[in-house]
Amino acid sequence: MNEINRIYPFAAIVGQEEMKRGLMLNAVNPKLSGVLIRGEKGTAKSTAVRGLAALLPEIEVVDGCVYGCDPGDVTTMCLECRDRLEAGEGLPRMRRKMRVVDLPVSATEDRVVGTLDIEQAIKKGEKHFEPGVLAQANRGILYVDEVNLLDDHIVDVLLDSAAMGVNTVEREGVSFTHPANFILVGTMNPEEGELRPQLLDRFGLCVNITGIPDPALRVEVIRRRAAFEVDPDEFARQWEAEEDDLRRRIVAAKALLPKVRVSDDILFLIAKVAIEMGVDGHRADLVMMKAAKTTAALKGRGEVTEDDVRGSVDLALLHRMRRKPFQDLSMDREKLRGAIGEPQSGHARGHGQPHSHSHHR
Amino acid sequence: MGKYRRFTFPFSAITGQEKMKKALLLNAVNPRIGGVLVRGEKGTAKSTAVRALARLLPEIEVVAGCPYNCDPGDAGLICQSCRDRLGDAQRIEKVLRRVQVVDLPVSATEDRVVGSLDFEHAVRYGRARFEPGLLARANRGIIYVDEVNLLDDHIVDVLLDVAATGVNVVERESVSYSHRAEFILVGTMNPEEGGLRPQLIDRFGLCVQVEGVTDPARRVEIVRRRDEFDADPLGFIARWREKERQLREKITAARCLLPTVTISPDLLELIAELSMEALVAGHRADIVMAAASSTIAAWHGRNRVTEGDVYEAADLVLFHRVREAPPPSPEQPGASPEEQEDSPEQEEEDDSREQEPPEQPEEAPPLPDQESLEPEDQKQQEDQERDREKEQNTPPPAAPEERVFAVGQPFQTKRISYDRDRMLRKGSGRRSRTRTASKAGRYVRSTMQRKNNDLAFDATVRAAAPYQPRRRRGGTAIAIETGDIREKVREKRIGNFLLFVVDASGSMGARQRMVETKGAILSLLLDAYQKRDRIGMVAFRGSAAEMILPPTGSVEMAHKLLEELPTGGKTPLSAGLIKAYEVARTHLYKDSDISPLLIIISDGKGNVSAGADKPLAEARRVAEIIRAEERIKTLVVDVENNGFLTFGLAGELAAALGAGYYKIDDLKADTLVRAVREVE
């Protein structure tokens, strides 16, 4: 119990709105396929991820199942649970917090996808599959710090599983598949090397963060952190109302999401932006649409507006644009603004003021 | 253990990408076509289409319980166990089943692909039994390799071999077994991620290039359908069931019609001509083209092949087989006089250059014979070189502030090679052989050291054998203790990491020097491509250095960036070196097995410093830091022109780095090999 209280409240994080938005969007809609946080050290990246997990409502799982299957959903169940269900057995249920599974940079492929327990296999003549990180992360958050330093091979495996929602193991005499639906959160410091474009593209959203340049806010960061360290429980109590509010918004947005509608005008706007930005393929369109829908849901609206799209282009497109040598990010941002800022004559302008995302606090 | 189900987007619901769909359907009708390679940018429904195809295919009849999907109607080709069952006068049960699409994950080990000794069985019953691998499961089905260009070379070799013979022969770890493995090979690749060996490319019957749809209305349709599918997969699939059924019937109808399709001698001649025009190697293209043409005719419900069918087939068959000189076809360079020295050096100081009159701000016009210069023949390359010499008489253009130079003609560089070493390494490539710590690679011997969980079963059993009479067996045939366990030592070829550090300052613009330089880089890149090296590129100019190409296996990407690389501004040499050092260090951190080789291409005339020091002094200091890191190897390619007045600054830089040093012209000579060996 104490463990949970030690987590710095998500709502108490100062600034870094874009990152928080990226995480919240994924929390509401895991189909956004993850978020990549690019930025310097010490910018509350992992604090935010842990805070998010603590914030999210508890999930119902099959007690004792490694994969944490949802007892209410046959389609996403692991084979064992499904067999038990089909055999007419009841599945024991329990509620628990969403897990944050850390993937260390040094992780081997065995650890990630799971492996055969060799000792047992050879001594007893039994094959026993030892589930890996992907199994643990099912229905939780998989947090990969410094994803750009991870072996490319492992990143491939990760992103593949994330995209399919399934982990397929084909190695050393094991052929096995299990569900692996997780929110993938990666962080990287671009100074230490970039991620391959192919891998970048697989992250649904990407946010770029920097330290906060405003002295007053910086002071606030220090003050809150100090208060948290002195008395975490008291600090958590102070932020409880805010946290509850956020939690309610997420729950409400999740419920609303399937009902959010997107008009053709909005879809054409999305297509136009994607074409103008010259992004590869169609993944960007899909992500923009999903992000806009989720944004609308978070705002409690049943209809996507142009503003929702504007709010999501940065997150969905910046990492997918082709950059020329010696061209910096701000130019890309400007180009994006140009593409999204001037709606075609057919589209009415005036859904609120452009670019003023209503952040809480 | 078994399969976990997932929903498949219906084939008929895929918007656009007609060519890809056609190629897949043709293979479905006629597996003899030999598979499809789908090349294209990310996010273009490549994987979706392949997975959808499996759902679409009509079912096949197989022997119940046979791991090799034997065809009960074909007694000549059935596997050993099926034959035994027939011999025992047992009845073979037939079942209808869906065509298998076997995913070959990029991480698959060789054991799983070809099959291996079933050691569970061996330990329990003391008998060696073959455990079928992916190739067995794929018999009479489809093998799908996503990102086939990233597959380990070792596995690629196996795939190629089996695809060619239709039989999987296993001779390893005390198992000796062979079985049929006839499959359609479907691969996808993003060329930006690295190339594929021509040998493997040729093995794919058809190849299609896919791109994102640019029509907004269709883009919207794509998003709409995907959204509908994600929201309610079962409902979506149900809505498309009728369309799917129609398509399936069309496949069945075409299959029935196919054996009756005839092709006239005239059209066969046309096929031969088309192949010759495309300069394809060998005859596979002709054979595939004939098969594809017939299949297209059958698809359209005709039993005669038309000329249109042949052209349609040629499009799919020749795309990947057309031979060009080097893989990324380079632009013809403009005139690039190099030896000419009738004007004094003009790039000592940046300021002085700014006052230079911009004589010819445009890029030099392409050579007049560019049209005829189809890259097909070495001789023509020589012609072109002669042309270039002729053009040396025209006055050279001066360097304006910023311009983008074409890439010079590449040439064959001499081999850069590291000797085999005994260190454990990971990575893959073809430049050097090495011991590998990952599970990919060929099993060469066993070891008692436990670190990999990579069991060498044969060796383990041998180790345990002498003690069997004394050990107690708990229900197993062999008693094995922890001390008996042996692991595999594997060997594979690894690539190197070559980091190009390119001077893109104004001084490089003088007299087309950048064209030559880009040509030289491209030559090295092509060499790197053949060796499966990883490459990266850092460029410096103005006041900063930038990583323009993160480490990648893609020469194509490097080529594209090289073309776009602008030239102009001052020369922040030390910044370039620092950046390169950082990149190399990061790489070492990520993959300490592979030593980065920095290839610094510059004239060494640094004139901007990052700190307070004089530019050249600072560059020297950075050079010494790099020299101190033993794992980083360096080479300096001097691009300064030969002439009356040379500064030899690049030579000094090389000395400070302790680096191999050679002039740009040396790249063509044998010296490069020696230079690199000396670095080693």
Based on the number of CB atoms within 10 Å of its own CB, is A320 exposed (0-12), middle (13-18) or buried (19 or more)?
A: buried
Angle subtended at Cα A91 by Cα A87 and Cα A93, rounded to the nearest 5 degrees: 175
B482/A151 Cβ within 8 A: no
The Cα–Cα gap between B153 and B156 comes to 5
Q: Could you tell me if B649 lies within 8 Å of chain A, comparing CB atoms?
A: no
- Checking if the pLDDT of A43 tops 80, the result is yes
The pLDDT tens digits for B396-444 are 344 445 666 666 665 555 444 433 444 444 444 444 555 555 565 666 6
Cβ–Cβ gap B192/A197 under 8 Å:
yes
Radius of gyration of chain A (CA): 21
How far apart are alpha carbons B625 and B649 in whole angstroms? 18
User: What percent of chain B clears pLDDT 70, i.e. is strictly above it?
Assistant: 71
Tokens coding B111: 């054991």
Most confident of A11-25, A81-95, B177-191, B616-630: A11-25
Determine contact: B237 vs chain A, CB below 8 A: no
Higher pLDDT, B384 or B255: B255
Q: Which residue has the higher pLDDT, B670 or B277?
A: B277
Q: What pLDDT is stored for residue B630 in this prediction?
A: 79
Angle made by CA atoms A75, A181, B190, in degrees to the nearest 5: 110
Nearest CB to A122; choose among B106, B119, B582: B119
Q: Determine the Cα–Cα distance for residues A286 and B523; give it in Å rounded to an integer.
A: 40
Region at A209 (left for phi over 0; alpha for psi -120 to 50; beta for the rest) = beta
| Shortest distance, CA A268 to any CA of chain B (angstroms) | 6
The pLDDT value given to residue B364 = 38
Q: Which residues between 179 and 198 in chain A have a beta carbon less than 8 angstroms from any beta carbon of chain B?
A: 179, 191-198
The per-residue pLDDT for A211 is 83
The listed range with the strongest mean pLDDT (A267-281, B149-163, B286-300, B419-433) is B286-300
Helix, strand, coil percent content, chain B, rounded in steps of 5: 45, 20, 40
- Whether A73 contacts chain B with CB within 8 A: no
What pLDDT was estimated at residue B496?
Answer: 75
pLDDT at position A173: 59
Instruction: Name the residue among A15, A40, A34 with its Cα closest to residue A208.
Output: A40
Q: Where does B405-512 have alpha helices with state H?
A: 457-464
* Phi and psi angles of residue B522, each rounded to the nearest 5 degrees, phi first: -60, -40
Please tell me whether residue A68 adopts helix, strand or coil conformation. Answer: coil
Q: What is the pLDDT of residue B401?
A: 56
Strand partners, B633: B597
The answer, yes or no, to whether residue B537 has pLDDT greater than 90, is: no
Q: At how many degrees (to 10) do helices A17-28 and A240-256 cross? A: 50
Q: Residue A97 in contact with residue A141, Cβ under 8 Å?
A: no
A270 vs A150, residue with greater confidence: A270
Question: Rounded mean pLDDT of B45-70?
Answer: 83
Half-sphere exposure of B587 (CA within 13 A, CB side): 28
Is residue A145 within 8 angstroms of chain B, CB to CB? no
Q: How far apart are CA B340 and CA B642, in angstroms?
A: 9
Q: Cβ A177–B124 below 8 Å, yes or no? A: no
Partner-chain contact B547 A193, CB within 8 Å? yes
Q: Residue B487: in which H helix or E strand, if any?
A: strand B487-494
- Output the pLDDT for position A350: 39
Q: How far is B550 from chain A (nearest CA, A)?
A: 6
Q: Which of B5, B108, B231 faces A171 most closely, judged by CB atoms?
A: B108
| Residue B237: per-residue pLDDT | 92
What per-residue confidence (pLDDT) applies to B488?
74
Helical H segments across B532-667, by residue range: 555-564, 573-590, 615-628, 649-657
Give pLDDT, residue A250: 92
What is the secondary structure of B402-420 as a DSSP string? SEEPPPPPP-PPPP-----
Q: Give contacts of B587 with chain A, Cβ < 8 Å.
A: 193
Q: Which residues pair with B63 in a beta bridge?
A: B94
Q: Give every CB contact of residue B44 below 8 A, 6+ residues apart in sequence.
A: A280, A281, A282, B17, B210, B211, B212
- Residue B222: closest C-alpha in chain A: A282
Beta bridge partners of B179: B168
B42, B213, B556, best to mutate vs chain A, most A CBs in 10 Å: B42
Q: Are the CB atoms for B312 and B296 separated by under 8 Å?
A: yes
For residue B475, the tally of other CB atoms under 10 A from its CB is 7
Choose among B108, B216, B539: nearest Cβ to A275. B216
- Output the six-digit token pair for B512: 């087309």
Q: What's the full length of chain A, in residues? A: 361
Q: How many C-beta neighbours within 10 Å does residue B401 have?
A: 14
Question: Tell me, what's the pLDDT at B240?
Answer: 93
Mean pLDDT, all residues of chain A? 81
pLDDT of B558-609, one tens digit each? Answer: 777 788 888 888 888 888 888 888 888 877 776 666 778 888 888 888 888 8
Task: Tell me what the mean pLDDT of segment B627-634 comes to.
Answer: 83
CA quadruple B446, B449, B451, B455: dihedral positive or negative?
positive
Is residue B672's pLDDT more than 60? no
Question: For residue B510, what are its two tokens?
Answer: 């003088």
Q: Is B135 on the interface with A (CB under 8 A)?
A: no
Instruction: Say whether B41 and A280 touch across the interface (CB within 8 A).
Output: yes
d(CA B16, CA B538): 39
Question: From CA B513, how far away is CA B364, in angstroms rounded?
Answer: 13
Distance from C-alpha of B294 to C-alpha of B303, rounded to nearest angstrom: 8
Predicted pLDDT at A280: 78
Band of pLDDT at residue A355, cut at 50, 70 and 90: very low
**Set of chain A residues whose Cβ sits within 8 Å of the Cβ of B109:** 170-172
What residues in A contact B566, CB-CB < 8 Å?
325-326
Q: Which residue has the tokens 């000549």?
A: B76
CA distances to A249, B545, B650, B654 from B348, rounded to whole Å, are 64, 20, 14, 19
Q: What is this structure's pTM?
A: 0.70
A191-217: pLDDT as tens digits: 776 777 777 887 889 998 888 888 999
How many residues appear in chain B?
A: 680
| Beta carbons of B582 and A191 less than 8 Å apart | yes
State both tokens at B529.
């491509």
pLDDT for B566 equals 82
Q: Are B651 and B641 in contact (CB under 8 A)?
A: no
Instruction: Report the percent of chain A where pLDDT is more than 70.
Output: 84
Query: pLDDT confidence of B542, banded at 50, 70, 90?
Result: confident
* For the ranges A81-85, A220-224, A281-285, B522-526, the one whose mean pLDDT is highest: A220-224
Q: How far apart are CA B508 and CA B516, in angstroms?
A: 10
Contact A270, A310 (CB under 8 A): no
CA angle A70, A74, A77 (to 5 degrees): 55
List the beta strands (DSSP E) in B25-172.
36-40, 60-63, 94-97, 101-103, 115-117, 130-132, 141-145, 167-172
Residues 387-446 (B) with a CB less than 8 A from some CB of A: 426, 438-439
Per-residue DSSP letter, B611: S
**Which among A122, A283, A325 has the least Cβ separation from residue B480?**
A122
A149 contact B CB<8A: yes
> How many angstroms separate the CA atoms of B587 and A121, rounded?
37
Q: What is the mean pLDDT of chain B?
A: 74
If phi > 0 it is left, if psi is from -120 to 50 it is alpha, else beta; for residue A16 that is: left
A311-350 residues touching B, CB cutoff 8 A: 324-326
In this complex, is the C-beta atom of B88 within 8 Å of any C-beta atom belonging to chain A? no
pLDDT value, residue B20:
92
Do residues A225 and A261 lie in contact, with contact meaning Cβ atoms separated by under 8 Å?
A: no
Contact B80, B71 (CB under 8 A): no
B591 touches A151 (CB < 8 A): yes
- Burial tier of B84 (Cβ tally within 10 Å: 0-12, 13-18, 19+): exposed
Q: What pLDDT does residue B451 have? A: 66
How many contacts, defined by CB atoms under 8 Å, are there between A and B? Answer: 204
Pairing of strands A100-103, A141-144: parallel
Chain B: closest CA distance from residue A17 (Å) = 27
What is the pLDDT, as a whole number, of residue B440? 58
The answer to whether A251 contacts chain B (CB < 8 Å) is: no
Enter the ipTM.
0.78
| Model pLDDT for residues B463-515, shown as the tens digit of each residue | 777 777 777 766 677 777 777 777 777 665 556 788 888 888 887 766 667 77
CB–CB of B435/B424 below 8 Å?
yes
Nearest to A122 among B40, B212, B455 (CB): B455
What digits encode the pLDDT tens for the residues B109-156?
777 788 877 777 777 777 777 888 888 888 888 888 887 877 777 787
